[in-house]
Chains A and B, each alone.
Chain A
Amino acid sequence: MPVMFFMATMVLYLVGTAFFLAYLLRRSEALSKVSLIVTGIGFLAHTIALLTKMMGADHAPLTSVHEAMSFFSWALVLVFLIVEVRHRIPVLGSFILPLALISLISAAALPKEVPTLEPVLKTVWLHVTLSVLGTVGFAVAFVAGLMYLIQDGLLKSKRFNVLYAKLPPLDFLDHLNQQSIVLGFPLLTLGIITGALSAEFARGSYLNWNPEQLWALVTWVFYFVVLLGRLTVGWRAKRAAYLTIIGFAGVILTFIGVVLKGHGAVG
């Protein structure tokens, strides 16, 4: 059952991505409606897939990289839908949906079953949930930064084309960038602390100085500095856009590193 819904989600997101990308280049607003409906149905299917999987599983949810990726994709689309309902900027979908699709495809490519889970990892689901939600914030900040740079480039070169008309104003994008980090950062902080707590309860040490933990801390410090810079020294606009893009690229690289090293669980 969950697999069927999972596949359906993937197909729907693929179609949604195609529509959203087409929407980017055409002057038709109808296209955005279609893409939104397809995405909405996809999201519903994904929700059902996640719920049925959670109920059917005999192990704690969210312990494998596969599940974390799938959940990331789900939360990302959820955030998009919320922003869409509140601010009506379907063009955000043209950037977020491809990301959600990629994450879902990577999830599908990873082994679905948890290879006999060490009892150590039973409590990590909270840590994974919080960390994934924090990462979703950084992903949205990344998208906002990307859109900011594109819009900024269009403005500077005075190319007032279709894309320019569809992208939201610069100050909105900058604000979205800030809000995403402001929301994502405390979540990541909590994610790291709950991770440390479960390590403490499992092994008796909250910090083992292993690469995964260190990279999580480095990511944390990076976004901390970005946030601090924004709130005090005024690192806004283009600088914030570049920094959040670099930061998210770092997050992805770290994640790939963790997966390649063959760790069964995140963190």
Chain B
Amino acid sequence: MNGERPAVADPGPTPKSTPGLGWNELSAEVVELFASIKLAMFLFIVLAMTATIGTVIQQGERPETYIKEYGEEAYRWFLRLGVTDVYHTWWFTSLLGLLCINSLTCFYKRFPAIWRSMHQDKVNVALPFIKGMKQTVAIPVAGPKDRVAEGIVQLLAEKGYRVLAKNEATEATIYATKGIMGRVGAHMAHLSATVIVLGGLIGSYYGFQEFGVCLEGQTYHIPKGQFDLRVDKFWIDYHENGSVKSYNSTLTVIDHGAPVTTKTITVNDPLVYKGIWFYQSSYGDAWDRVDLARVNIKEKGTDKVVGTIDLPWQKEVSLDNLGLKLSLTDFVADFGFDSTAKKVYSKTVEHANPAVKLAITEQPSAKAAMVQTTPWIFYQYPDLFEIQGSKYRFELVGYQAKKFTGLQITKDPGVNIVWIGSTMIVVGITLSSFIYHRRLWAKVIPGESGVTVHLGGNTHKSQLDFQKEFRKLTERIQTLKT
């Protein structure tokens, strides 16, 4: 997109047969290679092709998944090539690195020329130079030299050209240029590749992305930000038709023990504190606690319900008429038992097999023996265990799950650089697509009757448009009124 001519078509001054290539020649060749547009195109194509690997082969799965689908031999190759995590392989990163080097070398090699052509006058040219241009024409015009030259300068200025003119005794020379921004834009777009990759790298090295499951009323420490976050409230708003309108969490940042800021976040409206962003990401029922559990108490002998009680979380409740003290001490959503650690845990976050743990103290009368147990009772299997020595059977008939809010916690110090790069790419592409650089030279040479205007010009692209413009300019000069 930049450069007046493709680098590969350069009639390079470095003959290949030179024996004992010196450092200068070598470095010139290396620069030439890295600055070439062909390399850029090649890299882009290879990057695109390798990026598609990640869409065909699932990324970051467990070994079993790959072996099951592709076989063991294939998986070994996958590991060797790193295709199970393509975007973090050394070769993918290297390709990105090469792209950066390419864009920087290209800038280094070509931009100075553009800079010069922006600031240098190019008015000192000889007639053969104009005659040798891609677009060139000789126009006979009636009128004195100075007036014709003036007319041309005026015409070009009207057309938006930046014009330089030199008037000498024997001839007048005019140089006009327009649309240099088109080429600056091309460089901006090319450099943006480096900027975006840089932003991405900074993000992946110095940033993090975590998912937090937070319960209402709890305070959580954010170690990477060295402050605390309190979840004050979580709720869901609904549309009239019952569909979800928004998820909301009210969060308070507590820094050094003092609340600093409070904000209600919703999807697309995160809280930002010290460069860390808190996004409303999901919500759900907690799997390790409930607000309330309803328990039926049945007499073993008669199987009659003698009492129903709503137990709050971890608070003892006394039922004096039955001689019971009950407390809800634990909850799991999907009961699992780790036999080595002898611990109960929730196998999944789904409420597939919910169970509560009760602490029961039973003493029907002062003289009777006291029974103390801590059984798990299951929502789906009410008759699973019998409590020895107890008059009662306990059934879990329902519970009110505690809602949690899922917060996406991220820090990406590179993100602004990525946005800068994105802006550069859009502005650059737009400039270089719609503006093209044109240069015109004219020499007004007095002849026997009137003058001859030698007009020549070139552009680095859009030859067709330029041809048209050149024709129109020729016509205007032909009919110049002096």
Q: 1/0 contact trace for B409-429 toward A, CB 8 Å?
A: 110100100110010011001
Interface of A is mostly: helix
Q: Are A218 and B41 in contact (CB under 8 A)?
A: no
Q: Is B136 an interface residue (CB 8 A)?
A: no
Q: Is B326 an interface residue (CB 8 A)?
A: no
Q: Are B434 and A182 in contact (CB under 8 A)?
A: yes
For chain B, residues 234 to 275, give those with C-beta under 8 angstroms from any C-beta of chain A: 239, 243-247, 266-268, 270
Of B12-20, B52-60, B438-446, the one with at least 4 CB within 8 A of chain A:
B52-60
What's the nearest-Cβ distance from chain B to residue A252, in Å?
A: 16
- Tell me the bound Cα distance from A197 to B418 in angstroms: 10
Contacts of B209 in A (CB 8 A): 204-205
- Tell me the bound Cα distance from A224 to B430 in angstroms: 13
Q: Is B3 an interface residue (CB 8 A)?
A: yes
Given known A119-B244, A186-B429, contact A224–B44 (CB-CB < 8 A): yes
The listed residue (B408, B425, B464) touching A203 by CB distance below 8 A is: B408
How many Cβ-Cβ contacts under 8 Å join chain A to chain B? Answer: 110
Q: Is B97 an interface residue (CB 8 A)?
A: no
Q: Are B44 and A120 in contact (CB under 8 A)?
A: no
Most buried by A among B200, B409, B433: B433
Given known A119-B267, A204-B270, contact A215–B45 (CB-CB < 8 A): no
For chain A, residues 128 to 176, give those with C-beta under 8 angstroms from any C-beta of chain B: 171, 175
Contacts of A189 in B (CB 8 A): 425-426, 429
Q: Is B38 an interface residue (CB 8 A)?
A: yes
The listed residue (A123, A200, A215) touching B415 by CB distance below 8 A is: A200
- Tell me the bound Cα distance from A185 to B433 in angstroms: 9
Of all chain A residues, which has the CB nearest B55? A211
- Tell me the bound Cα distance from A255 to B45 in angstroms: 20
Contacts of A201 in B (CB 8 A): 268, 270
Given known A214-B55, A221-B45, A232-B3, contact A202–B429 (CB-CB < 8 A): no
Q: Are A209 and B59 in contact (CB under 8 A)?
A: yes
- Tell me the bound Cα distance from A21 to B432 in angstroms: 38
What's the nearest-Cβ distance from chain B to residue A259, in Å?
A: 16
- Tell me the bound Cα distance from A206 to B247 in angstroms: 21
Contacts of A225 in B (CB 8 A): 41, 44-45
Given known A116-B243, A221-B47, contact A203–B426 (CB-CB < 8 A): no
Q: Are A119 and B268 in contact (CB under 8 A)?
A: yes
For chain B, residues 69 to 99, give those with C-beta under 8 angstroms from any C-beta of chain A: 87
For chain A, residues 212 to 242, give those with C-beta under 8 angstroms from any C-beta of chain B: 214-215, 217-218, 221-222, 224-225, 227-229, 231-234
Contacts of A206 in B (CB 8 A): 415, 418
Q: Is A53 an interface residue (CB 8 A)?
A: no
Q: Is B332 an interface residue (CB 8 A)?
A: no
What's the nearest-Cβ distance from chain B to residue A248, in Å?
A: 16
Q: Is A99 an interface residue (CB 8 A)?
A: no
Of all chain B residues, which has the CB nearest A171? B464
Q: 1/0 contact trace for B381-408 toward A, CB 8 Å?
A: 0000000000000000000000000001
Q: Are A215 and B429 in contact (CB under 8 A)?
A: no
- Tell me the bound Cα distance from A232 to B44 in angstroms: 15
Q: Is A48 an interface residue (CB 8 A)?
A: no
Q: Is B279 an interface residue (CB 8 A)?
A: yes
- Tell me the bound Cα distance from A177 to B215 in angstroms: 57
Contacts of B44 in A (CB 8 A): 221, 224-225
Q: Are B268 and A120 in contact (CB under 8 A)?
A: yes
Q: Is B1 an interface residue (CB 8 A)?
A: yes
Q: Are A204 and B243 in contact (CB under 8 A)?
A: no
Contacts of B2 in A (CB 8 A): 232
Q: Are A232 and B6 in contact (CB under 8 A)?
A: yes
For chain B, residues 113 to 149, give those with C-beta under 8 angstroms from any C-beta of chain A: none
- Tell me the bound Cα distance from A53 to B279 in angstroms: 32
28 A-B pairs within 8 Å (CB atoms) are namely A58-B239, A118-B267, A120-B267, A122-B268, A123-B268, A182-B434, A185-B433, A189-B425, A193-B425, A197-B419, A200-B415, A204-B408, A204-B412, A209-B54, A211-B55, A214-B52, A215-B55, A218-B51, A221-B44, A225-B45, A227-B1, A228-B1, A228-B37, A228-B41, A229-B41, A232-B37, A233-B38, A234-B6
Instruction: Please name the 6 residue pairs, one residue from A and one from B, whose CB atoms are nearest each other, closest first.
Output: A204-B410, A211-B55, A119-B267, A221-B48, A116-B243, A218-B48
